[in-house]
Amino acid sequence: MALKVLSVTSEAVPLIKTGGLADVAGALPAALAPHGVEVTTLLPGYPAVMQTLKRPRAIFAWNSLLGTSARLLAGKLAGGQPLLVLDAPALYAREGAPYTDAAGLDWGDNWQRFAALGRAAADIAGGVMVKRGKAQRFDLVHAHDWQGGMAPAYLQFAPFGGDEGKVPSVITIHNMAFQGWFNAEVFPRLGLPDAAWSLDGVEYHGGVSLLKAGLANADAVTTVSPTYAREIRSNTFGMGLEGLIIARGNSVHGILNGIDSDSWNPGDDPALSAAYTRRTLDKRIANKRALEAEFGLDESDGPLFVAITRLTWQKGMDVLPEVLDHLVGIGGRLVLLGSGDPHLEHALSRGAARHPGRVGVRIGYDEALSHRMQGGGDAILIPSRFEPCGLTQLYGLAYGCVPVVARTGGLADTVIDANPAALAAGCATGVQFDGVNYDSLAAALNRTVALYHDREAWERIQKNGMKCDFSWKASGAAYADLYRSLTA
């Protein structure tokens, strides 16, 4: 019998995406299926999600889910896997982004929007739905980030059906920086017993943290790379939650993200002008020319850097504008696609205006363009200050767009620096540097440009990256093993 897992997430491709969480939550069902695990995804009913439901079927209704009426709709993901959508119009039927309004401010009722998601998950997993007289329970709940964090807390402190309904849970940290902290006033409205207002419960610094609620109460905690799993034991990366991570000891696991090798395959990618494999790398040049044209850059055989990113401090995007003059000075060019902090958007756009024909910036979000950039750029810049896993370096490896990365988190775990030993052994896949500041990034750019001009070495690096297997094969098996260890 397949193990039935309920994945509780606020994003999943292709339905709704603001970042990497969506890629991972969207890929998990297919990644787990070969291991005898049936993953059902539970998503909030944002307008973007509701629109995709074809003939939605209501399979359950709450009169009051934390004070609001809600229905559960059944649907299917693109791959045919089961999807549940929490249709609670008072919480989700609004214009704007999943977490913020049109002005970019957090929705004031985010505590309720995502506590309701957790409450619904605990009810569903505990068997609130009854089919032919039989409660439809799940074997395990897998919650993601702070938005899913209340599910383990409800399963622990207020399971549906009492102790009978206790279902084991896992929480995955995709980003420790977002902790879902709210004032103490929300506690009485969560429907939890007083015992939950405690060190082992949801209380955190005099308020409620949805992420802490999950970390303290899930049976296992995972994060998305082994290095980040170690880093979050320190205060720099743990961001206040390091003590709890240390206390959870061996229940904390680092499982690397995989990539969806069907959507990210340069040999068969409809977004590219020219498909190619590592055996036909010479065809890549057509994509580079197309990218230059798309961004209005001068045609050149020099290195073309790309960056595809949320524009935030995490991603080191405050350092990139500072280093632009240097990048251009050593013969490089850059095309950037991203959105986020308005100050960073301006700084980068100003940089592009200073270097016409050499630097192109597109502010916005564009999935197909991100593919064209991986397929036409020579190297992808990822100067993150912290990076739980990172996906764009994995896409870069698959596309022969050599990753130039800060040595942190999953970037440290997935890229082999082209140091003399790795070059001699013929196993380098990219460039790593330590510390995110002008000097370190400028030095990494110098090293990359020098490598680029050694055509033989560069091609070797590209091909090594393209040979790497960062599909979900190994990580799917690791999640399945973890689930089984908790349900045995």
Q: Which spans of this chain sit near ligand ADQ (rule: CB under 6 A)?
A: 19-21, 23-24, 174-175, 224, 257, 308-310, 337-339, 365-367, 370, 387-392, 410
- Is residue 282 helix, strand or coil? helix
Axis-axis angle for helices 210-217, 110-126 (nearest 10): 30
**Residue 72, helix vs strand vs coil:** strand
212 is in an annotated binding site: no
φ, ψ for residue 176 (rounded to 5)? -70, -15
CB 91 within 8 A of CB 108: no
CB of 11 to ligand ADQ, least distance (A): 9
> 339 or 487, CB closer to ligand ADQ?
339
- Nearer of residues 203 and 231 to ligand ADQ, judged by Cβ: 231
**Minimum CB distance to ligand ADQ smaller for 123 or for 231:** 231
- What's the Rg (C-alpha) of the chain? 23
H helix and E strand count, the chain = 20, 20
Nearest distance, CB of residue 422 and ligand ADQ, angstroms: 23
Residue from 240, 229, 110 nearest 173 by CA? 229
Q: What are phi and psi of 99, to 5 degrees?
A: -115, -10
Nearer to ligand ADQ, 181 or 313 (CB): 313
Q: Output 113 or 174, the one with its CB closest to ligand ADQ.
A: 174
Longest Cα–Cα distance in the chain = 72
- Residues contacting residue 231 through CB under 8 Å, at least 6 positions apart: 237, 238, 386, 408, 409
Q: At closest approach, how far in Å is the CB of 399 from ligand ADQ?
A: 11
Closer residue to ligand ADQ (CB): 325 or 345: 345
Distance CA 483, CA 488 (A): 9
CB of 173 to ligand ADQ, least distance (A): 9
CB of 49 to ligand ADQ, least distance (A): 18
Minimum CB distance to ligand ADQ, residue 24 (Å)? 5
Region of 288 (left: φ > 0; alpha: ψ -120 to 50; beta: rest) is: alpha
**Feature table: binding site for ADP-alpha-D-glucose:** 17
**Feature table: binding site:** 17
